[in-house]
A = this chain, B = another copy of it.
Amino acid sequence: MSSTDPQRHTRQRARILDAAARCFSRYGFQGASMARICADAEMSPGHLYHYFPHKKALIEAMIVRELEEVHARFEGLRDAPDVVEGLLALIEGGRGWTDEQNRLMLEVMAEAARNPAVGDILRHHHAAITTLVAECLAAGQARGQVEPSLDPEVTAAMLQAVVDGAVARQVRAPALDPDRWIDHLKHLYGRMLRPSGNAS
């Protein structure tokens, strides 16, 4: 009986999304053809269209998955005893980002800037992270770990801008020693967040 096997369904979707991520990061959303993605996923076009009705749907699903993974990295912040240490650890974690992820994020940003649907996805995700980080920052201020004059919301947005800047840096200055860069970033970011007079 060909009754639906949800597990298999999910596995197939994942296989497609993996292939899509690989292709999109290499060729961009428009540059990656469905045929290429099919080949990469070792699947016929007809079959792939069984799982995603449009290219648009595939792009959006892939973006959502990607952003959820990013979100997951921020969740840990809630349990960090020291918020600032937690945020610095997140920056430290940027060291592990692959080129594929970097390229994908840049592609997502560019697409979000012109495609309202993608823009909404990004903004929704951004708002979720911003809220999370802002809450943590406010808690940190209550505990005296964070400079009290900082606006938590804007500061949370800043963190994400720093991440975007770091992603861009990998393209702009790939030769720059990552250790020097990340150390510098952590040093300055620490100085920013901690109460005045409390250098890292």
Which residues on A are within 8 Å of B, measured CB to CB? 25-28, 30-31, 99, 102-103, 106-107, 109-114, 119, 122-123, 126-127, 130, 151, 153-155, 157-158, 160-166, 168-174, 176, 180-181, 184-185, 188, 191-192, 196, 199
**Closest residue on chain B to residue A106 by CB atoms:** B110
Q: Are B158 and A123 in contact, with the CB atoms below 8 A?
A: no
- Least Cβ–Cβ distance between A141 and chain B, in angstroms: 15
**Closest residue on chain B to residue A166 by CB atoms:** B161
Q: Are B112 and A109 in contact, with the CB atoms below 8 A?
A: no
Q: Are B102 and A106 in contact, with the CB atoms below 8 A?
A: no
A166 CA to B99 CA in the complex, in Å?
Answer: 22
Q: For the complex formed by this chain, how many copies does it contain in all?
A: 4
- Least Cβ–Cβ distance between A176 and chain B, in angstroms: 6
6 additional contacts (CB under 8 A) given A99-B113, A103-B113, A164-B165? A106-B106, A106-B109, A113-B171, A127-B173, A164-B169, A191-B191
A191 CA to B165 CA in the complex, in Å?
Answer: 19
Which B residues touch A111, using CB under 8 A? 28
Q: Choose from B109, B163, B196 the contact partner of A199 (Cβ within 8 Å).
A: B196
A110 CA to B180 CA in the complex, in Å?
Answer: 24
Which B residues touch A188, using CB under 8 A? 158, 192
A165 CA to B109 CA in the complex, in Å?
Answer: 11
A164 CA to B163 CA in the complex, in Å?
Answer: 10
Q: Are B130 and A157 in contact, with the CB atoms below 8 A?
A: no
Q: Are B172 and A126 in contact, with the CB atoms below 8 A?
A: yes
The 5 closest A-B CB pairs, nearest first, are A161-B165, A165-B165, A164-B168, A30-B30, A106-B110
Please, could you name 23 A-B residue pairs with CB atoms under 8 Å apart, sorted by A? Answer: A25-B114, A28-B114, A30-B31, A103-B110, A103-B113, A103-B114, A107-B110, A109-B109, A109-B171, A113-B170, A123-B171, A126-B173, A130-B173, A153-B176, A154-B181, A157-B176, A158-B165, A158-B184, A161-B168, A162-B162, A164-B168, A188-B192, A196-B199
